[in-house]
Amino acid sequence: MSSARLPRDLHPVAWWVWAIGLAVAASSTTNPLVLLTVVAVASLVVFARRSEQPWARAFRLYVLVAVVIVVMRVLFRVLLGGGVGGGHVLLDLPEVPLPDWVLGLRLLGPVTRESVLAGLYDGLRLGAVVVCVGAANALANPKRLLRSVPAALHEVGTALVVAVTVLPQLAESARRVRAAQALRAGDERRTGRLRRQLVPVLEDALDRSLQLAAGMDTRGYGRAGTATPAERRVTGALMLTGLCGVCVGTYAVLDTSVPRLLGTPMLVLGVAAAVAGLLSAGRRVGRTRYRPDPWRWPEFAVMASGIATGAVLHWVSEHQLVVAYPDLASFPQVTLVALLGSLVGLLAAVAAPEPRPVTS
């Protein structure tokens, strides 16, 4: 076995790219068979490759949220959508007209198969996207992910690392304050008690943060920008161009009466300029990384399987409309391309090494 496949945590960015690829795939179809395949692929990979860390248990929560989304979608259909359109009536519920001041809405009414299916398909799509994101959350180590933020966001990333690390201290601080307050007389009403708790904890936390800052200063975190004014101007120009492009592109995507040239090309241009601005802003940060996460072939393979899933299903949504957006009147069809495309994501489970066992 090569060293790349020894038990270790895969680079978190690889998992995220894989999951985003799956989410793109899910968002470009309403075919329930394809969507359920994508959900199954995401779940299988999670069960095969998740570690025993606390964040790995979060996957259940995302599945729950997805189920709630689907149920809500269908419920809204039944509750508000009765009587519109035609179709096979499944359940003939009585219609409840509401008084005029609630905008003349009608509740319930006949439930048609088409309306329930439409709600189910659309809900499944959003639910599948949520499950894909949940898979990334369960698989990728959030602390390692914070270390791979782009250099331009180095400082904000540092603040986030501080936030994540400081959390357990807050609990300890709250316990200490409670013990100290129990020994003293004082305001016993509810608001008074709350104030006596919160203010010392906050004060303690802020005090510690200043101590931490002093420690960071001595370790060289407090660095001034070394960029020359010319470099800073270039960075600023790139960022402003990028944002302008994104603004114009967003508007053009929404308003189809605007020339098409302003739509997607402008958006691509804007994002490219923005990314260039971020890179240029990141170049001023001189820092080294302590034990960087390796990026080897399993990372590439996981990433590629996610991107392939997204690309194939995007192609399906453009060229096989009947498969991507099935008719509500008949049973949804799948083609070999769509099925294989959604199964490619499963390769991630094969390519990724086993997670590192938790050492107690």
Partner 1 sequence: MSTPAAVPVSRRTALVLALASLGGLMMLLWPLLLRVPPDTERIDPPFLFLALLPVVIAVVLAELSEGGLDTRVLAVLGVLSAVIAVLRGISAGTGGIELVFFLLVLAGRVFGPGFGFVLGVTSLFASALMTAGVGPWLPFQMLVSAWVGMGAGLLPRRVTGRAEIVMLVVYGVLAAYLYGLLMNLSGWPFLLGIVVPGHEQTALSFDPGAPLWENLRRFGAFTLITSTGSFDTGRAITNAVAIAVLGPAVLTTLRRAARRATVRGHVDPARTAA
Tell me which residues in 200-259 interact with partner 1 (CB under 8 A). 202-203, 205-206, 208-210, 212-213, 216-217, 221-225, 232, 235-236, 239-240, 242-244, 246-247, 250-251, 253-257
Give yes or no for residue 96 binding partner 1 (CB under 8 A).
no
Per-residue buried b or exposed e for 178-209, using 16+ beta carbons within 10 Å of the residue's own CB: eeeeeeeeeeeeeeeeeebeeebbeebeeeee
Give yes or no for residue 73 binding partner 1 (CB under 8 A).
yes
Give yes or no for residue 91 binding partner 1 (CB under 8 A).
no
The DSSP letter of residue 291 is S
- Per-residue x/- marks for partner 1, 14-53, CB under 8 A? ------x--xx--xx-------------------------
Give yes or no for residue 311 binding partner 1 (CB under 8 A).
no
Shortest separation between residue 55's beta carbon and partner 1, angstroms: 6
- Residue whose CB is less far from partner 1, 7 or 222: 222
- Residue whose CB is less far from partner 1, 6 or 322: 322
CA 171 to chain CA centroid, nearest Å: 28
Shortest separation between residue 177's beta carbon and partner 1, angstroms: 13
Give yes or no for residue 322 binding partner 1 (CB under 8 A).
no
Give yes or no for residue 359 binding partner 1 (CB under 8 A).
no
Write the DSSP assignment of 319-330 as a string of letters: H-HHHHS--SSS
What are the beta bridge partners of residue 112?
Answer: 89
Angle at 76 between CA 71 and CA 78, to 5 degrees: 95
- Residue whose CB is less far from partner 1, 192 or 292: 192
Give yes or no for residue 7 binding partner 1 (CB under 8 A).
no
Shortest separation between residue 296's beta carbon and partner 1, angstroms: 25
Q: For the chain, what's the residue count?
A: 360
Give yes or no for residue 282 binding partner 1 (CB under 8 A).
yes
Number of residues that bind partner 1 (CB under 8 A): 101
Q: Are the C-beta atoms of 268 and 246 separated by less than 8 Å?
A: no
CA distance 132 to 232: 38
Give yes or no for residue 61 binding partner 1 (CB under 8 A).
yes
Binding to partner 1 in span 131-160, by CB under 8 A: 133-134, 136-138, 142, 146, 150, 152-156, 158-160
CA distance 351 to 162: 33
Q: Are the C-beta atoms of 97 and 106 separated by less than 8 Å?
A: yes
Three-class SS of 84-147: CCCCCEEEEEEEEECCHHHCCCEEEEEEEHHHHHHHHHHHHHHHHHHHHHHHHHHHCCHHHHHH
